[in-house]
């Protein structure tokens, strides 16, 4: 036995099971959630109260994911702007098809653990008087919000929206294919000015016409903080959520 904690970062529900389930139970006690029950129903296939290493979710997430990755790779090598469309599809498709229904708990456990390790103590985004960081864990609502905004924008702050996000890939395509690369500085899918998004936001705020695309997101995710994101619309339509429409809807990702 050693005094060092060993774990696989992609297997926290298994490798740090007592820690994760204790967090879930404490969260339920504090907020009235049912996180512990949801995790066990998703992974404890034989209902013995333990998540074994051969219990990997009831819905075959990894099998479906390989299909998504295969098609995303196909797009990247066969289409002119596949370097943008492929990653967009790879991130959006599993969420649209709800493939991550179970593994959101594993990914959430990883995110919650990482947030608890922050050197800075931060106020929880949803539960009053709760803080996280310096060993304290965030609420599950905060975990889900941060994971969702990371997928959509690469950040939960408008100052740090990333080109490597659903919004960033859609923005780059709209600029390169429909706007001559005015903001990204190139029509090449592999080349973009790292300050392109910030320059775009500044231009739009000063009255410039928005690019011709719309990213559809779930309710509550059309803004970051108090900033309404340009080219983003909130919708409850499951067919539109996590899709990008270009040139007035003539092309849809």
What secondary structure does DSSP assign to 69-98, as a single string? HHHHHHHHHHSTTHHHHHHHHHHHHHHHTT
pLDDT at 58 over 70: no
**pLDDT score for 2:** 72
Quick check: helix, strand or coil at residue 216? strand
Residue 193 in contact with residue 184, Cβ under 8 Å?
yes
Quick check: helix, strand or coil at residue 209? coil
Residue 194 in contact with residue 162, Cβ under 8 Å?
no
Q: Across the strands, what pairs with 228?
A: 223
Instruction: Please state, in angstroms and rounded to a whole number, the distance separating the CA atoms of residues 74 and 84.
Output: 12
Task: pLDDT band for 60, please (50, 70, 90 cuts).
Answer: low
pLDDT digits 0-9 by tens, 181-207: 999 999 999 999 999 999 999 999 999
Q: Across the strands, what pairs with 217?
A: 234
pLDDT at 215 over 80: yes
Instruction: Please state, in angstroms and rounded to a whole number, the distance separating the CA atoms of residues 27 and 36.
Output: 8
Torsion of CA 185, 73, 9, 167, to 10 degrees: 40
Task: pLDDT band for 59, please (50, 70, 90 cuts).
Answer: low
Average pLDDT value for residue range 101-123: 92
- Tell me the CA end-to-end span of the chain in Å, nearest whole number: 51
Please report, rounded to a whole number, the percentage of residues in the chain having pLDDT higher than 70.
Answer: 97
């Amino acid at each position: 036995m050693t005094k060092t904690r060993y774990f696989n970062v992609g297997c926290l529900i298994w490798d740090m099971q007592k820690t994760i389930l204790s967090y879930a139970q404490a969260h339920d006690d504090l907020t009235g959630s049912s996180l512990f029950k949801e995790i066990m129903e998703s992974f404890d296939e034989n209902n013995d109260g333990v998540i074994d290493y051969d219990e990997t979710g009831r819905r075959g997430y990894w099998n479906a994911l390989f299909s998504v990755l295969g098609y995303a790779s196909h797009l990247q090598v066969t289409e002119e702007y596949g370097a943008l469309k492929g990653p967009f599809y790879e991130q959006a498709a599993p969420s649209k098809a709800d493939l991550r229904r179970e593994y959101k708990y594993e990914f959430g456990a990883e995110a919650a653990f990482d947030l608890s390790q922050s050197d800075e103590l931060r106020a929880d985004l949803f539960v009053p008087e709760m803080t996280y960081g310096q060993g304290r864990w965030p609420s599950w609502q905060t975990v889900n919000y941060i994971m969702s905004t990371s997928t959509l924008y690469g950040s939960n702050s408008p100052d740090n929206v990333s080109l490597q996000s659903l919004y960033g890939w859609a923005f780059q395509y709209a600029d390169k294919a429909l706007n001559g690369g005015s903001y990204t500085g190139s029509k090449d899918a592999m080349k973009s000015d790292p300050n392109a998004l910030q320059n775009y936001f500044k231009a739009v705020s000063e009255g410039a016409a928005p690019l011709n695309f719309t990213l559809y997101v779930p309710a509550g995710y059309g803004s970051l903080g108090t900033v309404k994101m340009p080219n983003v619309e909130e919708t409850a339509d499951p067919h539109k959520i996590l899709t990008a429409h270009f040139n007035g809807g003539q092309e849809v990702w």
